[in-house]
Amino acid sequence: MSLKFDSIPNISELFLNYINDFDKLTRFYQFDYRSDEAFRECIELKKESYSNNKDFFRNDLTEILTEQNKILGSGPETFENIQLLNEKDTFAVVTGQQLGFISGPYYTILKSLNTIQLCEKLREKFPEYKFVPVFWLEADDHDFLEINNINIINKENELKNISYFEGGTEKEKYLAPTGSIVLDGFIENFINELENSFNQTDFSGRLFSDIRETYKEGADLKTAFGGFMNRLLNDKGLIFIDPTDIKIKKLLKTVFRKELSTFPSVCEKVIETSVELEENYTVQVKPKAINLFYIHEGNRYLIEPRDNNIFALKNSRTKFTSEELFETLESNPEKFSWNVVTRPICQDYLLPSIAYVGGPSEISYFGQFREVYKFFNLPMPVIYPRTSVTILEKKVIVFLEKYGLKFDEFFDERELSKKLIGKTLEFNAEEIFSEFKDELRALFYTYEKTLEKIDVNQTKSLTKRNEQFLESLNTAGEKFTDAQSKNSEVISGQLTKILLNVYPGNTLQERVLNICYFLNKYSYSIIDHIYEQSDISDFSHQLLDVNINRK
């Protein structure tokens, strides 16, 4: 089952055109994700460009990836894929994400699985080439408050948010790269709260064992995230890359140097493209004069140009001369970090990537970067829409069937509530009893007038009994009215719980709920179920029945 994105509220117009009318956007994207020929063209361009103007060889990269993935506990298939990257006919399908706690919203899982699925699809279409899935760990990002919490549905059927803070309290500012954050003892409080929020099931033991073994005191966030993801994916060959590694940063000096020495060229190119886009769409990214950060004393600051060849770190008193900054780049490249504009360039300079699997926001901002790719002499990868999924539990399916509803009716709670309550009020108990009593009074009156001609006293006695009966009808009517009101309340309560499950906070489930809710309830088989049942070629919102064979 699936539904078109047009029927879902708050989907950007650019993404809708990307899915439904790509021809309107060919100016902003180099390749059409729907075209096999476009994929082939991208592969040929990448084959030619990847070996040019590089300060490293494929085996330099694979040695680093081997070390990194050993630390993350990757499986044999991942290491086989890393070795394949040494070969000139091997290309990467890439995705990436911030280091969400316990994997973050479950669309992170979807992106990972889609990357693997797209590799499988490309191997079938282009058997002369090899394709490996790569996950870019966005560990230099410093927006800790975006990733330090998860949402689950607890055993009281309420949406619950659970947060982790170092030392147990929120800091005034977060400027450190999230990948460098080391978990302290308060992570156990976070895990205990999560565990106590769920009912214990046959699957709880494995889940919380894996969480405690990866998200443990002394572990940094990138290692915890990658280690937990590996346990979820069960060696499907996904290669993790930690770009914050000093060895990786050394390989990226060419990109950093060009951005520093040519600014504001990249900024101007993004602005020019954005002006075109803004004629019809809302743009995602506002570029900076220099699209790089600098890590100083453990914190991450935007590099800003000043007069007289001076560079400053935004919101700090630290300044460098141009000569000092370039000397630092040569000696300590790990101090430099990309922003949203230069991250794709770093990624596609470093990897032989021919496709990026992204969500609606990523697809939108990639549309601003085509000229940036040209500036760095890189082919833009195919930007492939990730699968969008809502997992339907049995109670949701039963609710839909019981009331004859379509899934897209959930997107308008007010109208749906009116519709459901209207069904319970199809027969109004109060009106029924009012009409019943009116008809009885008319009937009693007719017969009383006839009977009093026979015996007035007996008729008075009968009239009294009739009045008593009408009084008893009042009591019965009140009970029926109360029952009907309770039915409406029950339906309203059911609707609230169902909406909490499939459309929490008027947002798609995949963007809110953490996968732990499903893992605890249905086992790790839910991952394979999504992998097997989702269709990477279906560019609509897919509805997956949770009915699986539990393991």
Q: What does the pLDDT look like over 188-203, one tens digit per residue?
A: 999 999 999 999 999 9
Which residue's entry shows tokens 């500012």? 173
In this predicted structure, the answer to whether residue 425 has a pLDDT above a threshold of 70 is no
pLDDT in tens, 101-116: 999 999 999 999 999 9
CB 43 within 8 A of CB 54: no
User: From CA 326, how far away is CA 267, in angstroms rounded?
Assistant: 20
* CA pair distance 188, 291, nearest whole angstrom: 37
User: What pLDDT sits at residue 319?
Assistant: 97
Can you give the pLDDT at residue 480? 66
Contact status, residue 84 vs residue 130, Cβ threshold 8 Å: yes
| Distance (Å, whole) CA 528 – CA 549 | 10
Q: What is the pLDDT of residues 206-217, one digit of tens each?
A: 999 999 999 999
Tokens of 466: 């009739």
- Write down the pLDDT at residue 551: 42
Q: Region 131-160: what's the mean pLDDT?
A: 96
Res 550: pLDDT: 42
Average per-residue pLDDT for the chain: 93
Q: What is the pLDDT of residues 498-551, one digit of tens each?
A: 999 999 999 999 999 999 999 999 999 999 999 999 999 999 999 999 875 444
Which stretch of DSSP H or E encloses residue 123? helix 107-125
- Locus of tokens 């075109």: 276
Give me the DSSP letters along 519-546: HHHH-THHHHHHHHH--TT--SEEEEE-
pLDDT at 421 over 80: no
Give the whole-number percent of the chain exceeding pLDDT 70. Answer: 95
Q: Where are the beta strands (DSSP E) in 182-298?
A: 239-241, 292-296
| Residue 163 backbone zone (phi > 0: left; psi -120 to 50: alpha; other: beta) | beta
Q: Are 28 and 278 in contact (CB under 8 A)?
A: no
CB 491 within 8 A of CB 420: yes
HSE-CB at 207 with a 13 A cutoff on CA atoms is: 28
In this prediction, residue 424 carries a pLDDT of 65
Once rounded to an integer, what is the mean pLDDT over residues 236-253? 97
DSSP at 30: S
Two structure tokens written together for 165: 């803070």
Cis peptide before 264 (omega within 30 of 0): yes
Average pLDDT of span 244-250: 97
User: Can you give the three-state secondary structure of 289-325, one letter per residue?
Assistant: CCCEEEEECCEEEEEEEECCCEEEECCCCCEEEHHHH
Q: pTM value? A: 0.90
CA distances from 278 to 138, 272, 275, 367, 411 (A): 28, 10, 5, 11, 28
In tens, the pLDDT along 453-487 reads 888 888 888 888 888 887 887 777 677 655 655 66
**Is the pLDDT assigned to residue 131 strictly greater than 60?**
yes
Per-residue DSSP letter, 42: H
Cβ neighbours of residue 296 under 8 Å, at least 6 residues apart?
313, 316, 318, 335
Q: Which residue do the tokens 């459309």 mark?
A: 503
> How confident is residue 310, by pLDDT bands cut at 50, 70 and 90?
very high
